Amino acid sequence: MNATDRTPADLLRSALAADPGRPLVTFYDDATGERVELSVATLANWVAKTANLLQGDLGTGPGDRVALLLPAHWQTAVWLLACSSVGAIADVAGDPAAADVVVSGPDSLEAARACRGERVALALRPLGGRFPAVPDGFVDYAVEVPSQGDRFVAFSPVDPDEPALIVAGAELSGAEVVERALGDAAGLDLTGPGSRLLSGLSYDTWEGLSAGLYAPLAVGGSVVLCRHLGELAEEGVAKRIESERVTASARAR
């Protein structure tokens, strides 16, 4: 990161300038066998497209609340950073009825219908695949995002001291997210560029978000984000740690 980085979106821009080709998020779903690896450049492209969708098509701006009803997943990481880019508040597992926009995975569509604003559905299928049929009352993220622009410019400046994230009842500004992520790095054994953290934590706590995205991003490292890691035997986890050149891990106790 640079000294001027005060939001998660700033951290991503610095990572892109420093080394766009290095891996940033490697995602596993151990219930399906899916593996996806995204470089800094690829993740940044998804973030830009998603931010353009948020700002342009969904009319989202600074201070608007986006309820993210999503698991620990590479597409969730995209939405978290897109919200930061726009200046919207990412409300993880938040109340859809209190949100301006709701973003839902396939298992939470009924709860998401409580949102009176825009509703976006993610199939969470391999390679960002579409729903077989678009859920009624939603737009399909996989249909809408490919046509969005590859570069994003916010209509309004993002204030790093304004609310940016709500998780487990705690509200944090963009600057606080960056500060806390940096503070967590040492405890997660993230020593700087080249650090590679395996995280089996969910995204519904600060600890899960920090280990699964923010702390590795803040120090120039990367994350191996594992959903359903409990499906894997200890021998399988050990093999993954070796094959992915993991230097540290954060797993549910």
HEC letters along the chain: CCCCCCCHHHHHHHHHHHCCCCEEEEEEECCCCEEEEEEHHHHHHHHHHHHHHHHHHCCCCCCCEEEEECCCCHHHHHHHHHHHHHCCEEEECCCHHHCCEEEECCCCHHHHCCCCCEEEECCCCHHHCCCCCCCCCCEEHHHHCCCCCCCCCCCCCCCCCCEEEEECCEEEEHHHHHHHHHHHHCCCCCCCCCCEEEECCCCCCHHHHHHHHHHHHHCCCEEEEEECHHHCCHHHHHHHHHHCCCCEEECCC
On the question of pLDDT at 41 being above 90, the answer is yes
Q: What is the pLDDT of residue 201?
A: 98
Q: Average of pLDDT values for 139-144?
A: 98
pLDDT of 10 strictly over 80:
yes
pLDDT tens digits, residue range 174-225? 999 999 999 999 999 999 999 999 999 999 999 999 999 999 999 999 999 9
- The reported pTM is 0.97
pLDDT tier for residue 38 given thresholds of 50, 70 and 90: very high
**What is the C-alpha to C-alpha distance for residues 108 and 93, in angstroms, rounded to an integer?**
10
Residue 33 — very low, low, confident or very high, per pLDDT cuts 50/70/90?
very high
Domains parsed from the chain with CATH numbers: 8-250 (3.40.50.12780)
